[in-house]
Every structure is written in C-alpha cells, then in structure tokens.
Structure 1
Amino acid sequence: MVRPPYPIAILGAGKIGAAIALLLQRGGDYDILVADQDPARLQAVARLGCRTAQVRDDDALQQAVSGRYAVLNALPFHRARAAAAACVRAGAHYFDLTEDVASTHAIRELAASAGTVLMPQCGLAPGFIGVVGSDLSRRFDRLLDLRMRVGALPRFPSNALRYNLTWSTEGLINEYCNACEAIVDGALVAVPPMEGYETFTLDGIEYEAFNTSGGLGTLPQTLLGKARNVDYKSIRYPGHCAIMKLLLNDLRLRERRDLLQEILESAIPSTDQDVIVILASASGYRQQRLVQESFSARIYGATVDGQTLSAIQLSTAAGICTMLDLAVHGHLPQRGFIGQEQVPLAALLDNRYGRIYAGQPLPAREAPQALLPGS
C-alpha cells in the first residue's frame, strides 16, 4: 500500500505545470518529479524543492511516469493520448487538463482495460464547470435545460478584441475551431464553434458568449436522455466574437492554425491581471413546479507563498490538485475512467485546493518558497 508522501509526476513545467508544482509542494503530501523538455523551466521548478527530469521523447516520458503513484499531465492537448497510454503501462493514476474531445474519447477507451484511474479534463472548463453542472442537474425531479458559461478574461482590456492571452494559445484556437458537443432537443449533436451567439449582463458588466469546443467534458453523454438541452459557451467582452469570426472564416485562418497562433502571439499581449467568470443555470421541475437554480463565481489571481499566480493559473491548478487529493483519499473510484460529473461539488469546495472556487484563500504556509519565472 502506498503511503505519503505519494510519489507523483507532473508533466510540463510551463505556467500551469509550475503552478501545480507550487500548490502540491506546499501541501507536503507528495514527492514530486516534474518532467519537461526545457532545462530553464526545470531549473525554475527545482527551486521549489521538486525533483526534475528532462524528457525529449516517448521513451523518456515512459521512464518519468514509471514508479509513480499518480501523474498530472499539463502538456499540450496533443500529448494527452501518449501520456495516458504511458501511465496505463506504468500502472499510475492519470489526471490531465485537456479540452480536446478526441483525446478524451481515446483516454476513455484506454480506461476500459486500465487497473488505475484515468481522469481527464480536471481544470476549469472542462473540469470545475462540469462538477457544477452535474450538481445543478441533480436538484430537479426532471431536468429541462442546463447552460454553462465560463470566461478567462483580462481585467483591463485595451485592444479591439478586448482580450489578452492568459493560457495556451494552441488550446484557445482548438476551442474556437473544433466542433462542440451539446444536447439539443434531447439529442446529442455537434454544433459549430463561434455560433450560438448571446449577450447577458452579470454584476453590471456586459458580456457575450458563443459555442466553443470541449468545455462540457463528458457531461453530454452522462445527461443524454435526462435533459432537453445542455450546452457550454465561452464568455468574452462584446465585440470579440465578430473579430474572431473575421479571422477564422473570412480570412480562412481556421485552415492555417499555425499562422493564426503566430499572429495572436505576436500581436496580443499576455497578462497575469485576469479574472475567471463562471455562470451556470439549470431549469426543470421539482415537485411539479418549474424552477430555476444558478451558480456564479468570479475568481481572481492570488499571491501564494510570495508568488503571483494569475486567475487562470490558480483555478486550473487548483482543479487538478483537488482531483488528485480526492482520489488519494478515497473519495473517487480507484480505477477506470472518471468524469467530472462523478465528483461531489461539496467535496470539491471543501478541499484545501478546491476552496478557491468558493472564494476562500488557500491554507497558509509558513515556510517561504523560491520564486517562479515572472513572479
């Protein structure tokens, strides 16, 4: 039986991987190995007290996950299948942040014969929003409609897109270009990205929202036959969608994703001054009455042990760290595929990491830590 500190590996030492390492290292329950191909990134996380391994190919990846109790994958979405397969071979529990629908389907297939947990989509959206949506859906005798909206937005937008890069540009483009799963009139369908446009006001601020891929996770499959309509849309400030549709459709940059990524990264500044906006609402019948229930939250960045984490870093890292904690302590199944909808919302919000979604700070730590790059 494995006892703490549990040996784990974190794949990827970028902004999110480094944030995961920071949160888990300060908890004291995990013996952490961080794997990445970039020596500079590894040097930075080594200052947190983590062991490191340089990984340049699949053989090195397999070696990094071997002997680990669990692996948290913070690599780009196109590495999810290979990382999950390596974990199955190594007998390690697997958690990731992927928003890619095809990767999730492949991981579900791997899980059918796995002796360990395979749990993709453990971040914000997909991730936390699926836990919220599932919780809302269970509050009705008969669920009708479930709507989930999430945005990672700059606090001080200053360009025509009213947007800054706060996370993976590659992942952002993937969400804007790939088909989106939804339940429409009781049927599981694929709806086009950047469509389904709507506007709304929350806390006095105007927003727009539109279809993007992957945010629902596996919730459509779980709620098929139990709901009339289920959908997910990304939140942006008004005007963003029209400009992105010009780039993607009229200029046909959806067919040249590498060029689009180059344009965005050379022209749109990144920022750590961001905010996460979450809104989910469900309607249905309870005791023969038509009722609606909603959940909303606004998450800002924080200083953790003297280090600045953006809102997207904090919320994404907290999500996957919570899932690891819940699995380790027996609050989740111990083998096979786990969807976010299997996680009790109360258990997530009560967790030392998940509490940030309830507006609570992380538990304090007395010992100071080394700074991450850019802090």
Structure 2
Amino acid sequence: MSRIASSSSTEAGSSSKARRRRPSAIPRTNGWPPSCPGSTTRTGAVAVADKMRVVVIGAGRVGLCLAEMLAATGDYEVVAADCTEEALSSARARGLLGRHVDAARPEELARLLAEADLAVAAVPDRLVAKVALAALEAGVHFLDFCEAGKDTRAIGSAIAPSKAFLTGCGVSPGLVDAVAYDLVQRLEPGCDLDLRVGALPARRTNRLGYGLIWNLDGLIGEYTADCAAIVDGRAATLPPLSGRVEFAAGGIYYEAFLTAGSVGTVAELVAPRVRNLVFRTIRYPGHLDYMQFLLDDLGLRSRRDLLATLLLNGLPAAEPDAVVMEVRATGTCEGRPAEVVYSRRIEPHDSAGNHGALALASAAHAAALIDLLRNDNLRGPALRCAALVPHGTVIANRHFAALRVNI
C-alpha cells in the first residue's frame, strides 16, 4: 500500500487546505449538488448552519446505509461512490448522488475529495489505507469500519490535529469497544474482560442457525485464524473455535466461542487495567458443532474455496437479522468481588426499510460520530479514537431511531 511520502509535504498540503479551499480545476459537475448559500468548509467541525460534505467510498451494505442515513437528515451533502454500476444504480435508486471511483487509483480519489469535508472508507480492508492517504492529502476528516493496519496508523499519525481520523467504527470493532472501555473503568485494575458479539438470523431457520448476513470469506477467516487475546496481562493467541460457553439473554439461549475478532483497538485501550481478555462470536446453540464437522471431519479447513461455495449455495439470506452483544467485566470494586455486564439485542424497526440490523447498527454508529463531529462535540482524543465516545451518547443519537435496542 502507498505510504506517506514525507511529513513535510503532508503538512504543507494540510496547511494549504486550512487557509482556503484549494482552487479546483474540476467544475461543479464533479458530483456535488450546488452549495446552499453560506456553505463553507472549515478546518475543524462544520458550523451547524452548514451542510457537511461527505463522500462515502464503497456503496455496499454499510456504505449505502450510511449514505442514506446522512442524506435523509438534510444536514449533509452526500456522495455515494463505487467502482461498480450495480452499486451505483442501487444508490441512485434510493435518491443518492452516485459517482464512479476506483479506490485503487489515487488520482480518482483526489478528484473526488477535492471539495469534501469527510471521507468515509466503506471498502475492502486492502483499500482502506489508500482512501486514508487520499483524505490526508486532501486535508479532510476520515472514518472507516475496520481495524487500523500499519499503513493506516502511519497515515493517521500525520494528519492535522484538527481533523478526525476514526478507524474501526461500526459494531465490532466500534460500539463494543466503547462498551468494553466503559466497563473496565468501573472495576479496579486486573479485571477480566469477555467480549461476545454476533450477527445472526432474528429467528433460527436451519440447523446451522445461520444465514448469508455478511461476507463469507471474512466469516471463514474468523473461524480459522488464531485469536488475539490477553492472558495473564500479556498479549497471546488462542485457537479458534475453542472456549465455548452457553448463556441466555432476553429469554433466548446462545453459544459463544473464540474467533479471530477485532480486538486490536480495545486491547490497546484496556491493557493497563485488564488481566485477561477474549473475544467470542455469538451463535445459536449447535452452530459450532456443525462448523467443526465441516472444517475438520470433512477436511474443508484446507479447502476454503469449496467451503465458501457450499455455504453460499446452501444458506438462505438472513433477513431480518439481529445483532447480539454481551460484554462481561469481572474483578473487584472497592476490594470486593464484582461483575459488570452489558447485554443488548439490536434489531431494525419495521420502518427501517430493507437494511439489516448489522448494516443499520454499523452505519448508525458512524453516523452518530459524524453528527458529533459536525456539531463540534467531538474533540481531543475522541477525534482519534471512537471508543472514547460514550456508548450511551452514541445509542441516544437520532440515527439509532431505526433500531430497537433491547436489554
């Protein structure tokens, strides 16, 4: 991936952007709707009276959902950008302004971001750093939905202090990180943290208890890769599909087991206060047994292509879906044993259209942060770490109105 050429050239580009909007050789037909009177770009947050210009790069499930959420408020000028006509047609059918862009081409990203305030990367992980670098060079805020890799971190360290650089937004990473950070603050150092998160069909319809909710390659990767953890205060890896537990929440029974979840950001945040940390994926009971049969008994662990084909052709589309999260922090408080538990099941309201719970919750988390940024309520360390924004503030945001958040 592209790396930062030099800190001096980066700073020069950022300071130029701060003083004025860069002269554009691109006419207003570059995709933006005409500005409303008085609409301007600011070095920090955009004044409440202005319309913040947001480019969502990647019009897949989450990107499209986020673009639609922001556009519906009337507070944002939104462009949904993608490299496929299918995605752009879907965006335009929803009344969104669509632009073709290849996120692997820096020159196309530069043109797209020339008049933006915020770049959102809703793209595959391999392209996130390219969008981040384009945001840095354009002098705009940046937000994405995945754990920051080495290249993305390097770019974030060079961005202007007044600019937001928010990686790992969504559900996990994202909302669950904020919950975990909150819970460990309530206990004394040396506590244990158990993160459990899952997106699954709202009702069980097959023996596997699963459907086509998310990217199958990502799912198989989580089931087969080593699991990052903290054990006895030290970074460690644990075998996937181990550590199975059963629990009930809201009268529904689940199982949870270790997977290669997104724990990088939260592990760094809570490491000084945590002795043990694990991440488990939530499923309906029996799912793990069937997956171990496919992976081990049938030998499909070494034939991921065949496993993906089998699941793709055999599983139903999981609509509607639900997101379940349970975070447990166990330790001591004022010298006494204590346990703090946060348990929620998130489902869309009937009026939420055809977006699923996972896409809606991921987009709502990002949209809530964007609202805070626009209203100048996102400052200091929170401009660099979404987990520092209280989860209660996020869930109380208007964009979560499309979701039922049940205890």
Task: Tell me if both proteins adopt one fold, taking TM over 0.5 as the criterion.
Answer: yes
TM-score tier by shorter-chain length is 0.7 to 0.9
Q: Match for 1:38 among 69, 77, 84?
A: 84
Taking the aligned partners of 2:239 and 2:386, their CA distance within structure 1 comes to: 24
C-alpha distance 80-262 of structure 1, shift in aligned 2 (>3 A) = farther
Aligned to 1:85: 133
2:116 aligned with 1:68: yes
- Normalised by the length of structure 2, the TM-score is 0.80
C-alpha distance 65-172 of structure 1, shift in aligned 2 (>3 A) = farther
C-alpha distance 279-80 of structure 1, shift in aligned 2 (>3 A) = same
Aligned to 1:109: 154
Taking the aligned partners of 2:355 and 2:399, their CA distance within structure 1 comes to: 14
2:339 aligned with 1:292: yes
Measured against aligned partners, the alpha-carbon deviations of 1:89-130 in whole angstroms (never above 9, x if no partner) come to: 2222111112xx5x4343222211122322111111111111
Q: What letter matches 1:111 in structure 2?
A: G
2:24 aligned with 1:24: no
2:320 aligned with 1:273: yes
How far is 1:86 from its partner?
Answer: 2.0
Q: Match for 2:220 among 149, 169, 173?
A: 173
Aligned to 1:139: 186
Please provide the CA RMSD for this pair: 2.4
How far is 1:335 from its partner?
Answer: 8.1
Taking the aligned partners of 1:23 and 1:85, their CA distance within structure 2 comes to: 25
- Normalised by the length of structure 1, the TM-score is 0.86
Q: SS of the residue aligned with 2:173?
A: coil
Provide structure 1 residue ranges, at least 5 long, that are not aligned to the other structure: 361-375
Q: SS of the residue aligned with 2:149?
A: helix
Q: Match for 2:258 among 196, 211, 214?
A: 211
Measured against aligned partners, the alpha-carbon deviations of 1:299-356 in whole angstroms (never above 9, x if no partner) come to: 1122447x23221121111111112222333333468972333112232133222466
Measured against aligned partners, the alpha-carbon deviations of 1:13-40 in whole angstroms (never above 9, x if no partner) come to: 1222221112111111111011111223
Partners of 1:117 and 1:335 within 8 A in 2: no
Q: What letter matches 2:257 in structure 1?
A: F
Q: What letter matches 1:175 in structure 2?
A: E
Map 1:149-298 onto structure 2 (within 5 A). Answer: 149-298=196-345
C-alpha distance 44-87 of structure 1, shift in aligned 2 (>3 A) = same
Partners of 1:25 and 1:49 within 8 A in 2: no
Taking the aligned partners of 2:298 and 2:140, their CA distance within structure 1 comes to: 45
Partners of 1:181 and 1:220 within 8 A in 2: no
Q: What letter matches 2:76 in structure 1?
A: Y
Partners of 2:348 and 2:403 within 8 A in 1: no
Q: SS of the residue aligned with 2:273?
A: coil
Measured against aligned partners, the alpha-carbon deviations of 1:54-80 in whole angstroms (never above 9, x if no partner) come to: 123423234323332111222222322
Measured against aligned partners, the alpha-carbon deviations of 1:189-239 in whole angstroms (never above 9, x if no partner) come to: 122322222222223322111112233341111222311112211101122
Partners of 2:189 and 2:272 within 8 A in 1: no
Q: SS of the residue aligned with 1:228?
A: strand
The number of aligned residues is 356
**Comparing both structures, which one devotes a greater share of its residues to helix?**
2
Residue identity over aligned pairs, in percent, reads: 31
Taking the aligned partners of 1:277 and 1:257, their CA distance within structure 2 comes to: 27
> Which deviates more from structure 2 when the two are superposed, residues 209-218 or residues 271-280?
209-218
Q: Match for 2:389 among 322, 343, 348?
A: 343
